[in-house]
Amino acid sequence: MEFLLAIWNWLVSVWIVVRWPLLFAFLLITFMLVSAIFSVWLERKVAGRIQDRLGPTRVGGKFGWLQTLADGLKLLVKEDIIPTQADHFLFRLGPYIALTGSFVAFLALPYGNGVVATEMNVAVFFMLAVMSTEVFGIILIGYGSGSKWSLFGGMREAAQMVSYEVPMAICVLVPVIVAGSMNLIGFAQVQETTAGTLASRSLMWNWYLFHDPFTFAAFWTYFTCATASCKRAPFDLAEAESELVAGFHTEYSGFRWLSIFMAEYGSMFAVSGIASLLFLGGWHIGVLPDDPTAYLGGFFGNLINVIVFIGKCWTLVFVMMWVRWTLPRLRIDQVMMTCLKYLLPISCVLLVGVSLWNMLLPTEVLALFPIVLFALCALLVVLLIKQLITWASAPPGTGMPGMWSMVGVTGYQGARKTHS
C-alpha cells in the first residue's frame, strides 16, 4: 500500500511540473494546425485572384472555407501506401522530424508581452537552430522513399536550405547588433511605443525596419532568404512539379503528406514571426503612444497584442503567397547563384555597415534618420496606391498601355506591318 501511495505521489508531482508545458504544447500545436488550415485556404484564394481563377467558392459558404477542411478529412482517411523499395523506418520517420523542427520553433516565439511558452535569452539563435533541423527530415524523406526523383528533390532541398541559412542568419545579426540582445521579447520592448515629445516618441518609425539603411535592406534580404528556406516559389526547386513529379514527397500520401505541408506552413509563420519581432515592432501597433496593457490591463491588452502580432505574421505569409503566384520558377543553378553570388555578399556588407553606422554618425542624424526614412516609405506607398487606383479605374488599354491592348506600344505598328 505504501508503494502504491509513493507511486501516486510521484505521479502527482510529475503532473504539477509538466501540466503547464503540456498545456502550452497543446495550444501551440492546435494554433499551428489552425494556421496551416487557414493558410491553405488563403493560398487558394490568393492564387485564384492573382491568376484570374475562381478558387473555392461554394463548399462551406460564399468563400469556400470548408474546402480545406474537406481536404484535410480526405487526407486523414486516405490509404497510406509505402513503396516496396522504400526504407519503411525512414519513410515513416522523415515527415515527423520535419514537422518537429518546425513546431519546436513555436516554443520560443512570443505573441505578446510575456505570452510565450518558453522565454529564452537566445531565442533568435534557438529558433534558427531548430528550424534548420527540418532539412534532416527532408533528406530522410527523399532517401527513404526508394525513388530517384524523391532523392533528387531531397538533395536539392538540402543544398538550398543549407545555403540560404547562411545569409539569413547574417541578416538576423543586423538587428541583433542594434538591439544588443537575442531575446525576442527584448526586441519588441526596445521598439515599444513610449510617451514623450513627437521627436522622441517611439511610434512606427522606431521599428528597426526604419532604424538605418542597413536594417531596412536587411529586412528584404532576410525575407528573400526566408522564402527560399521555406521552399516557396520562385525557389521551390525541391518540389518542382514540372521537373521532379512532386519532388522529395512524391511517394507520400495521406497523413504523412499532410505532416510535410504542415511543417512548410508552420515554418512560413515562424520565419514571419521572426521578421515581425526583429524589424516590424513585434506585437506593437506603432500608432499608439503606449502598449495596450498600460490602459487595458494585462489580459485585454495582451489580447490586442496577440491579434496584432498574428496579423503581421499572416500579412508576411500572404506576401510569400503573392510572390509564389506572380513570379516564374527559377532554375536550380539560378537559385544557388542568387544565394552565393548576390545575397551572401549583400548580407555581409549589411553586417559591416550596421556595425559602423552608430560609430561614425552624430547623434542628431541617428535620431532624425528613422523619421525621414519612414516618411519616404509612407509617401511611396501612397503614390503606389494612387497609381493602382488610376490603373483600375481607367478603361482597358488606356490606363496602362500594353496591359489589355498593344495600341500605343512603341514598335507595335511596325512589327504588325512587317508581319503582314
Angle at 90 (CA atoms; ends 258, 136), nearest 5 degrees: 75
- Of the two residues 13 and 268, the one the predictor is more confident about is 268
Q: Bridge-partner residues for 112, per DSSP? A: 115
For residues 141, 142, 145, 147, the Cα torsion angle rounded to the nearest 10 degrees is 170
Q: How do residues 142-159 score in pLDDT, each as one tens digit?
A: 999 988 888 888 888 888
**What is the DSSP secondary structure assignment for residue 406, as one 8-state letter?**
-
CA 96/CA 256 separation, integer angstroms:
8
Residue 102 clears pLDDT 80, i.e. is over it: yes
DSSP per position, 146-171? T-HHHHHHHHHHHHHHHHHHHHHHHH
- Of the two residues 352 and 34, the one the predictor is more confident about is 352
pLDDT at 202: 56
pLDDT at 195: 36
pLDDT at 37: 86
pLDDT at 396: 63
pLDDT at 109: 92
Closest CA to 309 of 5, 31, 16, 22: 31
Q: Bridge-partner residues for 115, per DSSP? A: 112
Q: Which of 17-31, 175-189, 242-256, 308-322 has the highest mean pLDDT?
A: 308-322
Closest CA to 31 of 271, 265, 255: 265
CA 270/CA 268 separation, integer angstroms:
6
Q: What Cα–Cα distance (Å) separates residue 72 from each residue in 54, 68, 253, 262, 340? A: 21, 6, 12, 11, 38
Q: Is the pTM of this model over 0.85?
A: yes
- Tell me the pLDDT of the chain averaged across its residues: 83
The residue assigned the cell 490602459 is: 295
pLDDT at 9: 72
Cis amide prior to 167 (ω within 30 degrees):
no
Closest CA to 65 of 99, 47, 40: 40
What is the number of H-type helices and E-type strands within the chain? 15, 0
Residue 22 clears pLDDT 80, i.e. is over it: no
CA 182/CA 175 separation, integer angstroms:
9
Sign of CA dihedral 147, 240, 271, 302: negative
Least confident of 42-51, 84-93, 209-218: 42-51
**What is the DSSP secondary structure assignment for residue 396, as one 8-state letter?**
T
- Residue 106 has φ and ψ, to the nearest 5°, of -70, -20
Sign of CA dihedral 402, 405, 409, 411: positive
Q: How do residues 383-415 score in pLDDT, each as one tens digit?
A: 999 888 887 777 766 656 555 555 555 554 554
Sign of CA dihedral 358, 364, 368, 373: negative
Q: C-alpha grid cell for residue 221?
A: 534580404
CA 218/CA 178 separation, integer angstroms:
12
pLDDT at 401: 56
CB-based contact 343:221 (threshold 8 Å):
yes
Q: How do residues 260-300 score in pLDDT, each as one tens digit?
A: 888 889 999 999 999 999 999 889 888 776 677 777 777 88
CB-based contact 306:110 (threshold 8 Å):
no
Could you tell me what percent of the chain has a pLDDT over 90?
A: 36
- Of the two residues 166 and 21, the one the predictor is more confident about is 166
Closest CA to 91 of 146, 155, 132: 146
Counted residue by residue, the chain has a size of 420
Distance of CA 413 to the CA centre of its chain: 46
CB-based contact 276:312 (threshold 8 Å):
yes
CA 225/CA 160 separation, integer angstroms:
10
Q: Which of 23-32, 141-150, 231-240 has the highest mean pLDDT?
A: 141-150
Residue 8 clears pLDDT 80, i.e. is over it: no
Closest CA to 230 of 274, 258, 266: 266
How many Cα atoms occupy the beta-carbon half-sphere of 247 within 13 Å? 21
- Of the two residues 361 and 416, the one the predictor is more confident about is 361
Q: What Cα–Cα distance (Å) separates residue 120 from each residue in 165, 181, 208? A: 21, 11, 21
